[in-house]
Amino acid sequence: MDIAMRDLINRGEMIGPRMFVCGYGLYVTNTPYKPGMNSPAGGIADGVPEVLKAVRQQIAAGADVIKMYGSTGTDDDVTGFETYTYAEMKAAVEMAHQFGKKIAIHSYGPNGAQDAVRAGTDSLEHATDMDDATIQEMVKRGTFYVPTIDHNRYYIENGDKIGYAPGYKEKLQAFIPKNLETARKAFKAGVKFAMGSDAIYTMFGQNTRELGWFVKAGMTPEQALRTATTNAAELLGKEKELGAVAPGYFGDMVAVEGDPSADIDAVLKNVKWVMKSGVVVMDKTKN
C-alpha cells in the first residue's frame, strides 16, 4: 500500500507528502502480538537465505528503504528481546547496500541494538539501555539514532481507544524515562539523530512533538530542527535535494508563526502553511 501511495503522489494523482517507503518490514515467524493481528506474510523471513530473498523482494516491489524488526516491542509491548541474529542482520544490511538502499533496524532492547549497529544498519529505531560500547560504535560508524520517544506519550493518551490491555499505561510511563535517558546519553556522546514518530493509528500530524523530547535530551532547538531537516535528508541519502532551502533543492517548506529556534513548540502549534515542490498545499492564513 505504501509503495502504491508513493507512486500515486509522485504521478500527481493524489496530494501527499514526499514519501520514502519500505514495503513489508522483515519479521521472524512468531506468535501474533495481539489476537487476530498477524505479521504480513510478505515480510516473514527466517534464516539468512530467507532474509536475503525478502530484501530482494521488497526492492523488486519498489521499496526505497528496508525495514527489519530486530527485536520484540511495539505499541504497548515494551519488551526488547532480540529476534534476528547478527548474521541475519548483517545479511540484510549487505543486500540492501548492494542495491544502493538504506536499511533501518528496529530494536527496543540493547542486545538487538548492539547487533544492528555492528551489522552496519543506517539507522537504529527506538533502542533503550544501550551500553557505552554500542553508543561509541554508532559514533564511529555514523549510525543514525531514531529514538521515537513521543509515540509512548501518544499511546498512553489513546490506549483505551486503541484497545490496549490493562496495565499498558504503567508500562509505557516506565519506558519513557529509559527512552529519554538513552537519547540524552547518545546525544552527549555525539551520535547523529534523525526525527521519527513511529506514527500509527491517528498520530499523523503530531510527529514534530518528538523535537520537544530532543530538547529535553539536551539539544538546542536549532539542533533539534536539524534532525527533521538536514539530518533526515542525510539519512535518506538525499542531502543534495532535501533538508535545506538552497538552489537545486526541492521547494519543500513549512512556515510557522514564531521562532522555532527559540521555542521548539512553534513547529507543532503554529504551522501556517506547507509548501511542496514550490506549491503551497495547505494554507491556514486564508481560513
State pLDDT tens for residues 30-51: 766 565 556 667 899 999 999 9
In a domain, 217, yes or no: yes
Please write the tens of the pLDDT for every residue from 133-147.
999 999 999 999 999
Residue 39 pLDDT: 61
pLDDT tens digits, 82-92: 999 999 999 99
In a domain, 276, yes or no: no
Q: Tens of pLDDT along 113-123?
A: 999 999 999 99
Q: What is the tens place of the pLDDT at every residue in 202-240? A: 677 889 999 999 999 999 999 999 999 999 999 999 999
Q: Per the domain annotation, does 273 fall within a domain? A: no
At 89 the pLDDT is 99
Question: Does 30 map to a domain?
Answer: yes
Domain count for the chain: 1
Percent of the chain with pLDDT over 70: 95
Residue 271 lies in a domain: no
Instruction: Tell me whether residue 202 is in a domain.
Output: yes
For residue 238, tell me if it sits in a domain.
Answer: yes
Does 91 map to a domain? Answer: yes
Instruction: Note down the domain range covering 238.
Output: 2-248
Confidence of residue 161 (pLDDT cuts 50, 70, 90): confident
- Structure confidence at residue 202 (pLDDT): 61
* DSSP for the chain, written as a single string: -HHHHHHHHHTTSS--------SSPBB-S---SBTTBPPPGGGB--HHHHHHHHHHHHHHHT-SEEEEE-B--BTTB----B-S-HHHHHHHHHHHHHTT-EEEEE-SSHHHHHHHHHHT-SEEES--S--HHHHHHHHHHT-EEE---HHHHHHHHHHHHHTPPTTHHHHHHHHHHHHHHHHHHHHHHT-EE-------TT-TT-TTHHHHHHHHTT--HHHHHHHTTHHHHHHHT-TTTSSS-STTS---EEEESS-TTT-TTHHHH-EEEEEETTEEEEEGGG-
User: Does position 103 have pLDDT exceeding 60, yes or no?
Assistant: yes
Query: Residue 100 pLDDT more than 60?
Result: yes
pLDDT of residue 81: 94
DSSP one-letter string for 40-82: PGGGB--HHHHHHHHHHHHHHHT-SEEEEE-B--BTTB----B
In the predicted structure, residue 187 carries a pLDDT above the cut 70: yes
CATH number at residue 147: 3.20.20.140
pLDDT digits (tens, 9 = 90+) for 224-283: 999 999 999 999 999 999 999 999 999 999 999 999 999 999 998 899 999 999 999 999
